[in-house]
Structures are given as structure tokens and as C-alpha cells.
Amino acid sequence: MACLLEAPLRISVLSEVTATSRHYVDRLFHPDPQKVLQGVIDMKNAVIGNNKQKANLIVLGAVPRLLYLLQQGLSSSELKTEVLGSELRTEVLGSELRTEVLGSELRTEGAVVLRTEVLGSELRTEGVVVLGSELRTECVVLLGSELRTEGAVVLRTECVVVLGSLAMGTENNIKSLVDCHIIPALLQGLVCPDLIFIEACLRCLRTVFISPVTPVQLLYTDPTVIPHLMSLLSRSPRTQDYITQIFSHCCKTPEHQTVLFNHGAIQNIAPMLISLSYKVRMQALKCFSVLAYENTQVSMTLVNVLVDGDLLSQVFVRMLQRDLPIEMQLTAAKCLTYMCRAGAIRTDDRCIVLKTLPCLVRMCSKERLLEERVEGAETLAYLMEPDVELQRIASVTDHLVAMLADYFKYPSSVSAITDIKRLDHDLKHAHELRQAAFKLYASLGSNDEDIRKKITETENMMDRIVSGLSESSIKVRLAAVRCLHSLSRSVQQLRTSFHDHAVWKPLMKLLQNAPDEVLVMASSTLCNLLLEFSPSKEPILESGVVELLCSLTQSDSPALRVNGIWALMNMAFQADQKVKGEIVRALGTEQLFRLLSDPDTNVLMKTLGLLRNLLSTRPHIDQIMSSHGKQIMQAVTLILEGEHSIEVKEQTLCILANIADGNTAKELIMTNDDILQKIKYYMGHSNAKLQLAATFCISNLIWNEEGSEADAMTGCQERQDKLRELGFVDILHKLTQALDPNLCERAKTAMQHYLA
């Protein structure tokens, strides 16, 4: 009994109530099966709509007994022989009854005959129950082939109905039921041929599985369950309704999607989209939205499915019609969105541009319910995230940018005064609305400068972002920082609104002890704020951000390492000696070289970028090389020898070129024959970019500075001589004939310096 007496205070209350409930449970243990059945039926009537009674019965141990009765019936075949004498009789009576039932209106009489003549005491009620509930067709089936197990079926069905009723109560009830292993018992029940019983089991399973407290995995533990559920889909509209609901709620991971997909979910569920029952259509639609979400395999299959001669996408588009229930429009739009994002539908397809997108924009309108507005905005944000054209269309459709400003007005001042219920409702959705709006703004502004401008000019937008960054809800903070990140791609906004509203302050605060997903966004935004032209760069530097960024480079998450080193790289760009020194000190050479062997190419690239920025002006080059020259040369050698992309090697050669630009640092190259051989190799490389970078390097080595000291001149002469010896002049000469104009130009300049 999992939920037994959580608080001592309730003991006395419970003991009183349980006394009156006890007899319900006691009756389940009666030796006479007829009495047991009546007991179950009475229990059913007692618990309907009564949460207290449900809890009582659970506490009193009704669940294990009900499950016992349920399973007992399933396994025992005793009943069959007990009740009905012979097979022959059954068949005769079965068929006799069938004709009677179908042919005329002697329905009730058929039952009477059945009751008195054929079936023993146990089946008496059954006949009445079945016929009373007007399930004529089921009745025929029941009485025809399944007469044998009927008595058991009724009891079992009633047991499941009671269990289902208990599950309708509180989450604690569900927990107790799950703890009693109700799920395997019910799944086992699905092998029974009786439709009414199957429907009862599925209904109960549905109620259990849609609860957030039920572990989804329980559906997948027995590998025979999913295929069996698929086969039950054709049994009745009810089985379709319940099973698709179960699927929709239990499909949480790509693995789940794959399991369902592999068992033919698409082929089995697609015909339900044109079912006569709205419920079935709706559940099928929901199921597809869950299956297609971020799943290329499912989405690619979906676009080719035909339902009654129509492509599935056309069926979905029809479900977007404005006179259909909002729930259906919204879910159909989700399906199309997911298919589009998975690449199954082009972003310029009419059904996306003229149907799905406008539908989602409508979902954001003030007329919709708050929940619908949240879902609409989130789905729309997801739809247009990668496509600037969709962003442009959405930004003008129905004044979306202005419409979203309304998302921040909950709870409204009106609701607070007039209506407590409304206030409660507003409060509950306020966070969700804000985060959805931020997400949508982020998506809208991710590419187009004009849209970003429009967003920042929306009433109080920057203030809203700033306060969003420090909201209690993590979801809102994350969405706000995403929005800020999107807007931070604008040079103009960085220079103006970002600085005016000092967004760096809450951003810095957010970076302290935030969860990884927030950190990724926040640090990425910080990278942009640290760009050279950003007026926020200075105050951020003064706030001591270097330590924080250095710690990010040690994170396990590659995204955070990239952002940390990227920010440092931006920070080091054209920075003064003090800042550069601080970076090198805080990062430490050890960490710097660890990053140079990072498995993530992005990290490596940004680290090389940082090095390049550190090694910029001549005094800085000489200073850093004098203290870290050995390690840097080692690292450079390593990278040039390793298996790296062109970009990495190019960046590395650029670092060498910077080193070659130093006064004293030059010698580190000149004295390293290995490196000189490598430069030579890259000057003859098939890739023009690498040739250019290598030529740059040589060009810097042979450079003779105008007006420099005579001894420097001598150094220059020595270098030129050595390089000539090594055959560089010939190579330069050859490069003056190169096809690439830049390369050609560079080689010519270098040659001129030789001549000088």
C-alpha cells in the first residue's frame, strides 16, 4: 500500500471512513462467485466520482484482490466446464440465440431463455447485463463463440472497470495501482478475445499511462505488447481512441518513436485520420505529431502515405481549416511543422507558407486560449528557426511582432481586480506565455536585421528581456537569453539598445551557477557582447569575466568550451597588453595547450584564434614568445603534422606568420629547420589558402623594415640568405605565376623585398 497514511492526522479520519468501506472489500472474498460479482458491481457504483472512497478502497487492499480476480478469470478454464455441460449445447444455443437476436425484436426474451435454460447461476447476470446495455452486436459475438468464458468475462470486466475508476482519482491512486503491477495484468488481459473486456482494459491502461507519475517504459518492457496493440487498432473506434492515446503519451524518446514506427504505427494509424469519429481522428493526429517530432525517418515516410487517395500532407492541410476545432488546427499544424523541420516538406512549399505558418500565427492571437497561444508560438518558433524567408513572412503576418507584446501582459491588471479565478489562471500561464514569446522573438530575429530592429522597437522589449533574464522560472530565463542572443547578432543593436539597457549586467549574473543549457546561451551571447565594437566590452572586462570564461573552457560540454574560448578570443582581439596578460595568466599555458588538442574542432579553431589574437602587435608577439615560445612552437608543429582540416592548418600557419612578424620571435622559426621545411611544404600545397598563409609567413621573415637599425638589417640579410639556401626563392618565383591573384601578389611583394 504505497500511499498508506501520509500524515498522522489522517489516521483517525480514515479509520472512521474505512470502517464503512470495509464491507465492499470483504465481499470480494465471498465464496459464492455470484456474490463476488455483485460486490464488484456495488463497488463500481460506490467509487464513481468519489475520490475519498477510491483512496479508502486502495488503502483497504481492494486492488490486489481485484487483480487476483482479474487474473484468476484469465487463467482458469474451470468455469467453462462448470457452467456449461457440453460443447455441443453451447454451439446450438449460441447459434439459436444469434438468429433470434438478429432476426426479430425478441432481444429480451433471448436473454430470458438464455438465463433460465442454459446458463448456470453465474451467467444469469451476464445475459441481463449484456442485453440491457443494448450492445446487440457484441452480444451476438459474446453469445456465439465466446459463450464458454462468459461468466468469467463479466466478472473480469467489472473488475477492470473498478480499477479504471480508481485510476481516475488522484495521482497517488495511480501510483498505488502501478505499484500493485496493474499494468502487466491489464496488458495480459488484452489477449482475451472479448471486445468489451479489451476495451475496459485499454480504457484503464489509457488512464494510467496518461498520468505523469506512470513510468512510460512499462509499455515497452514486454516486446510483444506493441505489436499486439497495433493488431487491436482495427477492433473498434474505442480501441483506436485508447491505444492512440497511450501511444501519444508513451512516445517520449527517439527510441520509442522507432519502436512504434517499426511495428507499423504509420500504416495502422493513418486510416484513422478519416474516421467518422472526431475523437479518433484527433487522437490519430496527436499520435502523428508525437511520432514525427524531430524524426526524419517517420517524417520521410509520412509524406508518401496515402489516405483514401490523398497524400497525408493534404489531409493535414484540410485539418487546418478555420472552421474546425482549434485543437485540430493546432495539432495538424504541428504535424506539418515537424515534417518540414525533418526535411520531408520544403520550407517554400505552399502548405507551409500559405497554410501552416498563417495558421500558427492565428494561434498566437488574443482570441485564442492562453494554452493555445503558448503552443502556437512555440511551434511557430520551431518551424521558422532555420529559414529566413519564413521569418520574414511571419514577421509581417497579422502584425505578429506587436501581437506577441501582449504575451507579457499577464496577469493583467483587470483580471486581478475582477476575478480571482481568472487571476489564478493568468498567473499559472504567465511564465509559459513569456517564455513562448521570447522563443518566438528569438526565432524571428535570428537572421534578419530589419526584424531585429522591429523587435527591439516593440514596446518595452529590452526591459522585458532584462527582467526575463532574472526571473525565477528557469524556462523564462532560458528563453529570454535565447532572445537576447538572437538580437545580439545585430551590430546596430549591440551598439545601441544593448548598451543603453546594460544587458550585460543581468547576463553576467545569469552566468553564475546557471544550468548548462542556460550557460550555453548566455555565454554565446556574451561572445557577441565582447566583440570589439560592442560598447559593453569595457564594463564586462572590468567586471572580472576572465576567470569565469576560463572555467567554462574546462567544462565537459563542448558547447561551453567553445563559447568560453570564443569569448576569450573576442576579448583578446586588439586588446591591450594588460588584458592579454590576464588571459594568459588566468587560462594557464597548460590549459591552453590542452585546448589545442581538444577533440572538438570548434574548440581547436577558437583556441588557435585566441593565440592569433594574443600574438598580434610586435611587442606582444615578442613578449609572449619569449615566455611561451617553446610550447607554442611545439603545439604548432604538432598541429601541422596531425590530421586536421584545411581551416585548422590555415589558422596555424597564420599564427606562424604572426610569430614571423615579431622582432625576436622570428628567430624561433629561423632556427627551427623542421618548421621551415613545413612552411616550404605548404607553399607547394594544392590548396591556395594554405599556400597563401605559408607565403605570408615567409614574406614576414624576409621583410626588411625601413628605417630600422643596421644590425637588424644584418639579421634580415642572414635570413634572406638562409631562405635562399633552402630553396624558398625558387618557390616564390614559381608562385608569382600562380593563378590565384592574392597569392601571386603576395609572392611578388616578397620577391621585391629580396631585391631591395
Partner 1 sequence: MSGQSSGCGFLMSVVVHGDSALNEQENELNQQLRRLYPAVNELETPLPRSWSPKDKFSYIGLSQNNLRVHYKGHGKTPKDAASVRATHPIPAACWDKHSYGYHGDDGHSFCSSGTGQPYGPTFTTGDVIGCCVNLINNTCFYTKNGHSLVCDLTNHLSIFVCPQPNLYPTVGLQTPGEVVDANFGQHPFVFDIEDYMREWRTKIQAQIDRFPIGDREGEWQSMIQKMVASYLVHHSYCATAEAFAKSTDQAVHEELASIKNRQKIQKLVLSGRMGEAIETTQQLYPSLLESNPNLLFMLKVRQFIEMVNGTDSEVRCLGGRSPKSQDSYTGSPRPFSSPRHKASGSQAYLTGFDGGCCNGVMSSKAHPSPHSHKPCPPGPALLAPAAELSSLNGSHSLQQPNASTDVDMEVDHFTNGVTESSSNGFFNGTSKHGAQTEDCDTDMEVESAQSKRQLCGGSQAAIERMIHFGRELQSMSEHLRRECGKNSVNKKMLKDAFSLLAYSDPWTSPVGYQLDSIQREPVCSTLNSAILETHNLPKQPPLAQAVGQAAQCLSIMAHSGSGSCAFAAVDDYLH
Give the footprint of partner 1 on this chain (CB under 8 A): 321-323, 354-355, 358, 365-367, 393, 396-399, 402-403, 406
358 versus 558: smaller Cβ distance to partner 1: 358
- Report how far residue 350's alpha carbon sits from residue 725's, in angstroms, rounded to the nearest whole number: 67
Please report how close the Cβ of residue 379 comes to partner 1 at its closest, in angstroms: 18
Query: Of all helices (H) and strands (E), which one includes residue 478?
Result: helix 474-487
Among 653, 644, 705, which Cα is nearest to 675's?
A: 653
Residues in contact with 435: Cβ distance below 8 Å, sequence separation at least 6, in sequence order: 473, 475, 476, 478, 479, 480
Q: Which amino acid is at 149?
A: T
Helix residue ranges, H only, 233-366: 237-250, 254-262, 265-269, 278-292, 296-302, 312-318, 326-341, 350, 357-363
How does DSSP assign 648-672, residue by residue?
HHHHHHHHHHHHHHSSSTHHHHHT-
Please report how close the Cβ of residue 355 comes to partner 1 at its closest, in angstroms: 8
Please report how close the Cβ of residue 320 comes to partner 1 at its closest, in angstroms: 8
204 versus 400: smaller Cβ distance to partner 1: 400
C-alpha dist (Å) from residue 265 to 230, 232, 309, 339, 685: 7, 12, 19, 16, 54
32 versus 348: smaller Cβ distance to partner 1: 348
Please report how close the Cβ of residue 332 comes to partner 1 at its closest, in angstroms: 13
- Report how far residue 116's alpha carbon sits from residue 25's, in angstroms, rounded to the nearest whole number: 30
Please report how close the Cβ of residue 350 comes to partner 1 at its closest, in angstroms: 9
402 versus 502: smaller Cβ distance to partner 1: 402
348 versus 547: smaller Cβ distance to partner 1: 348
433 versus 569: smaller Cβ distance to partner 1: 433
Please report how close the Cβ of residue 378 comes to partner 1 at its closest, in angstroms: 21
Among 204, 245, 213, which Cα is nearest to 70's?
A: 204
195 versus 403: smaller Cβ distance to partner 1: 403
- Report how far residue 413's alpha carbon sits from residue 415's, in angstroms, rounded to the nearest whole number: 6
Residues in contact with 32: Cβ distance below 8 Å, sequence separation at least 6, in sequence order: none
449 versus 721: smaller Cβ distance to partner 1: 449
137 versus 321: smaller Cβ distance to partner 1: 321
DSSP 2: T
Instruction: Write down how long the chain is.
Output: 756
373 versus 606: smaller Cβ distance to partner 1: 373
260 versus 403: smaller Cβ distance to partner 1: 403
Helix residue ranges, H only, 60-135: 62-75, 78-83, 87-103, 107-113, 121-132
Please report how close the Cβ of residue 393 comes to partner 1 at its closest, in angstroms: 6
- Report how far residue 342's alpha carbon sits from residue 296's, in angstroms, rounded to the nearest whole number: 5
30 versus 350: smaller Cβ distance to partner 1: 350
Strand, helix or coil at 306?
A: strand
Query: Of all helices (H) and strands (E), which one includes residue 310?
Result: strand 310-311
How does DSSP assign 13-78, residue by residue?
HHHHHHHHHHHHHHHTT-SSHHHHHHHHHHHHHHHTT-HHHHHHHHHTTHHHHHHHHHHHHHH--H
451 versus 567: smaller Cβ distance to partner 1: 451
Strand, helix or coil at 258?
A: helix
Please report how close the Cβ of residue 337 comes to partner 1 at its closest, in angstroms: 17
Please report how close the Cβ of residue 398 comes to partner 1 at its closest, in angstroms: 4
Please report how close the Cβ of residue 322 comes to partner 1 at its closest, in angstroms: 3
Please report how close the Cβ of residue 102 comes to partner 1 at its closest, in angstroms: 23
Strand, helix or coil at 328?
A: helix
Please report how close the Cβ of residue 453 comes to partner 1 at its closest, in angstroms: 12
What does the H/E/C string look like for 553-589?
Answer: CCCCCHHHHHHHHHHHHHHHCCCCHHHHHHHHHHHCH
C-alpha dist (Å) from residue 16 to 20, 42, 45, 203, 280: 7, 20, 20, 32, 44
Please report how close the Cβ of residue 323 comes to partner 1 at its closest, in angstroms: 4
Count CA atoms within 13 Å of residue 315 on its CB side. 23
